[in-house]
Structure 1
């Protein structure tokens, strides 16, 4: 097993890294080990070896395996919630917002597939602290979309939350299915398909002050 490349040693001597850089290095090594073996089979010895550090160095930053795992989850949970928030803020066009929310999940699974598996396919989901973080991802994404729906349409919070949960659930499930299926559909096409499906429902709730969209000729025929 090779150590994570980070300049952790020079001429046989350990290189002292800034604390933030060392923490990032250890998290990267831990992610590889957790994804490869699962939480229960992963060992702190393996993580230290993968990072190219001694166990005492690892324990200086993380008192135990669970704390290390939770730190990883926090990093990735915050990242995906931020992606959905950004999708809501980047445009005032609601169709583009739906596309952006869907893209946030597909980007996450495409570029951060290990992180996605760590968060959504954890073998530690029954651990309360882990479950709380996974739920925080879903609730954070739902909240971002809910606030946008309320602001734009004026529907009640209960209605907006239900709509938002449907969009988040569809995006998460579809992205996970796409990843597990080996990305058989091109990413852009997969995003467009799901966004089109979601938009047909969201579009029936017009912006405040605008009339509700009536059925198209095809739909009313």
Structure 2
């Protein structure tokens, strides 16, 4: 169940919930408000109202708006990283790996909760704690991709990392454009097109140790 669904399920005011369930409820409400209004326009009053709780209950779990935002950012950065890692581990066929990784970014961006906006389109990127988290997840996703590239091609760590940063960057930028432009291209087709573009480049690096290469 997503954070948004947990919010809907747990919204009635006055219901006593276990601490973890209450925290998830508040995070779901905060996600709705932050995605709709942005960080600066959002108010703790709005989040408490959306969650169906009093402000004191909200402050029991999160001392301030930034604490709440960072907790939500941590949750969704980790979700993206796990999606990329799962995509890389889903097959040993490298072309399919590229497609799965591209699709992980598209799926993340297409999620109806709009969490990707907190990670890639935040209006709080000048806040060091936010910038640190966004940079960290981008780096960790690239590192996961680079490990596969280095293992399969024999390229150095730095060379593999450059390629990985490029693949990850292209994936998230194109996925965001695809969504924001309301493209008529179906997601599956968009992923296939981007995979074809990326594969024609990455396939030019020979497999490490392959005979005749």
Instruction: Sort the TM-score into its range (normalised by shorter chain).
Output: over 0.9
TM-score, structure 2 length as denominator?
0.93
**Equivalent residue, structure 1, for 2:50:** 50
* Cα 1:177/1:212, change in 2 over 3 Å: farther
* Cα 1:112/1:83, change in 2 over 3 Å: farther
TM-score, structure 1 length as denominator?
0.90
**Equivalent residue, structure 1, for 2:174:** 174
* Cα 1:212/1:181, change in 2 over 3 Å: farther
CA-atom RMSD in angstroms: 1.5
**Equivalent residue, structure 2, for 1:15:** 15
**Equivalent residue, structure 2, for 1:25:** 25
Secondary structure at the counterpart of residue 41 of structure 1: coil
| CA–CA distance in structure 1, aligned partners of residues 140 and 178 of structure 2 | 23
| CA–CA distance in structure 1, aligned partners of residues 149 and 210 of structure 2 | 14
Where structure 1 has 5 or more consecutive residues not aligned to the other structure, the ranges are 214-221
- Give the Å deviation of 1:6: 2.6
Secondary structure at the counterpart of residue 40 of structure 2: helix
- Give the Å deviation of 1:7: 4.0
**Equivalent residue, structure 1, for 2:82:** 82
Deviations 1:151-183 (A, max 9, x none): 111110111001101100110110010011013
| CA–CA distance in structure 2, aligned partners of residues 161 and 112 of structure 1 | 31
* Cα 1:121/1:212, change in 2 over 3 Å: farther
| CA–CA distance in structure 2, aligned partners of residues 96 and 8 of structure 1 | 41
| CA–CA distance in structure 2, aligned partners of residues 36 and 202 of structure 1 | 38
- Give the Å deviation of 1:8: 4.3
Which structure: larger Rg? 1
Q: Which 4+ residue blocks in structure 1 deviate beyond 6 angstroms?
A: none
| CA–CA distance in structure 2, aligned partners of residues 93 and 68 of structure 1 | 40
**Equivalent residue, structure 1, for 2:122:** 122
1:192-203 paired onto structure 2 within 5 Å: 192-203=192-203
| CA–CA distance in structure 2, aligned partners of residues 136 and 113 of structure 1 | 22
| CA–CA distance in structure 2, aligned partners of residues 211 and 110 of structure 1 | 41
Answer yes or no: is 1:5 the counterpart of 2:43.
Answer: no
| CA–CA distance in structure 2, aligned partners of residues 7 and 88 of structure 1 | 35
| CA–CA distance in structure 2, aligned partners of residues 7 and 100 of structure 1 | 34
| CA–CA distance in structure 2, aligned partners of residues 66 and 60 of structure 1 | 14
CA contact (8 A) 1:205 1:212 kept: no
